Amino acid sequence: MEMAQYGITVNAYAPGIVGTAMWDLIDEELGKRQGREKGETMKKYTRDLVALGRTSVPEDVSALVSFLAGPDSAYVTGQTLVVDGGIVFT
């Protein structure tokens, strides 16, 4: 909000479960602790927590980043935009 007076927008994005090498490692390590095969933890989290029912792909996140970097987001500032397919934590 402090930068808005200078015409500078500042926003953040918060991705959920994204099919990347980082999540492969998270899946593997959690799987070891929970006694699951590789790939099963991410499937379980996606099935149980993500409203849209799928793991996101990097393009889901990059589309938001492109929006924030472009002129269509000129009136968006001070926000954190969540890109998680509707994760529901209970």
Structural domains in the chain (count): 1
* Whole-structure pTM value: 0.84
* Residue 19 belongs to a domain: yes
Query: For position 43, which CATH number holds?
Result: 3.40.50.720
Average pLDDT over residues 5-10: 96
* Residue partners of 52: CB distance under 8 A and separation at least 6: 85, 86
- Dist CA 28 CA 3 (whole Å): 41
- Dist CA 64 CA 32 (whole Å): 33
Q: What is residue 89's predicted lDDT score, i.e. its pLDDT?
A: 80
Average pLDDT over residues 12-34: 95
* Residue 88 belongs to a domain: no
* Residue 65 belongs to a domain: yes
pLDDT tens, position by position, 43-77: 999 999 999 999 999 999 999 999 999 999 999 99
pLDDT tens, position by position, 28-41: 999 999 999 999 99
* Residue 90 belongs to a domain: no
Segments forming the whole domain that contains residue 54: 4-83
* Residue 89 belongs to a domain: no
